[in-house]
Structure 1
Amino acid sequence: MNKTILVTKRLTLAPLNKSDKSLFIELCMDPKVMEHCYDPSTLEEAEAGFEAFSQPWDCNSHDWLCFGITETNTGEKVGNISVKILDHKQHIGEVGFLLNPCKQGKGYAFEALKRVKAFSFDVLNLKKLKAICSTQNTSSIKLLEKSGFIQAAILKNNVVIKGKSIDDYQYEYMR
């Protein structure tokens, strides 16, 4: 599965490789990008994260399959989007994404998420996808709802960011 390349009208989604490393690290360390996810990573944590997200993956894996998102025409890196199989027996997965702030608002996340949803159902044979986002992350909330995800739960005090407990929404999508 690590050779899987997904293509949309404007984007190429390919498993993380060395060309994605600098943007991956930059996004993980950026306080603005991470403000609704986690505390920003140190350089060492971001590098370790890149190594973990770029490991070989197959359908039996319990880790994330992370795709670097690249503008096909320009070769510019946009961000990354990942899918993880949470429950192999129930065919439930989770998606997550991070975009370069200068690439946000252009429909790239919507386009990438649409393609990863299709891959998740058609190739991975998932029956349900989940996504978790902060109750304060209006951009991700709008994206998930526009993409057909439905708010399924509020996860109270789900993560601690800068010493403060944060509530998250759990969204779900079933085909």
Structure 2
Amino acid sequence: MNSPIHSTRLTLTKLALDDWELIRSIYSDPELMKHIGAPMQEEEIRTNFEKELAPWSLASTHWLTWIIRETASGNAAGLISICTRNREKLTAEIGFILLEAYKGKGYATEAIKLVIDFATEAFGFETFTAICSEEHAASRRVLEKAGMHLDKIVPDNTQINGKMVSDCFYSLER
């Protein structure tokens, strides 16, 4: 599980202590968080970061996180994570965030496909889910390009920065 996951363009590396500054910068950035939630304070980011550094198994309640890196340059492009949501019908939720400079290159779609293939083979996940706000058209396109299907839209389901937003629930069966 600690071995990198590779494609020609991307290398996914498991979250490590050296990734603290990247994680802090992502979760405190209002622009990157605008469709996810309020930017986090450093203490909350640190608490979540330390949880995600812990060993991971299907029984874990924390996210298994990889840093998305360009294979050629080694530069960090963002992150992608999975979390077990149902242990009986092995279901994982997928979440991802890309840095602004790396959006629009197909990296998120490619990373999702890599993680789905890896998690199916390594852990036996049968179903993958993802949630994004209805207004976040780019994330919706990414999920659909990765093969996920829109199951439902729940109006006014989540509060982000004081505003109620509708959530789109996606899934993919393997």
TM-score range normalised by the length of the shorter chain: over 0.9
Letter in 1 for 2:37: Y
Q: Is the 8 A contact 1:20 1:77 kept in 2?
A: no
The 10-residue stretch of structure 1 (131-140 or 64-73) with the greater mean CA deviation from structure 2 = 64-73
Counterpart Cα distance in 1 of 2:136 and 2:52: 23
Q: What is the alpha-carbon distance in structure 1 between the residues aligned to residue 90 and residue 122 of structure 2? A: 12
Q: Bigger CA drift: 74-83 or 12-21? A: 12-21
Q: How many residues align structurally?
A: 174
Deviation, structure 1 residue 18? 2.3
- How far is the alpha carbon of 1:49 from its aligned partner? 2.2
Shift of 1:80: 0.6
Extract unaligned runs of 5+ from structure 2: none
The equivalent of 2:165 in structure 1 is 166
**Paired letter, 2:124:** N
Instruction: Give the fraction of aligned pairs with identical amino acids, expressed as a percent.
Output: 34
CA shift for structure 1 position 48: 2.0
Counterpart position of 1:36 = 35
Deviations 1:101-149 (A, max 9, x none): 1111111111111100101222211111000000010110000011111
Q: Give the CA deviation at 1:92.
A: 1.0
User: Which residue of the partner structure matches residue 134 of structure 2?
Assistant: 135
Residue 52 of structure 1 is matched in structure 2 by 51
Superposition TM-score, scaled by structure 1 size: 0.93
- Do the aligned partners of 2:110 and 2:146 also contact (CA within 8 Å) in 1? no
RMSD: 1.3
Tell me the distance in 1 between the aligned counterparts of 2:121 and 2:106. Answer: 23
For the residues of structure 2 that align with 1:14 and 1:91, how far apart are their CA atoms?
Answer: 23
The whole-number CA distance in structure 1 between the counterparts of 2:124 and 2:7 is 20
Structure 1: any 5+ residue segments left out of the alignment? none
Give the Cα–Cα distance (whole angstroms) in 2 for the partners of residues 4 and 90 of structure 1. 26
Post-superposition CA distance 1:33-79 (Å, at most 9, x none):
11111111112222222222222112332221111111122121111
Q: 2:83 — aligned with what?
A: 84
**Cα-to-partner distance string for 1:1-21 (whole Å, 9 max, x where unaligned):** 3x1421111111111012322
Aligned 8 A contact 1:12 1:72 in 2: yes
- Runs of 4 or more, structure 1, over 6 Å off, are none
- Matched to 1:118, the amino acid is D
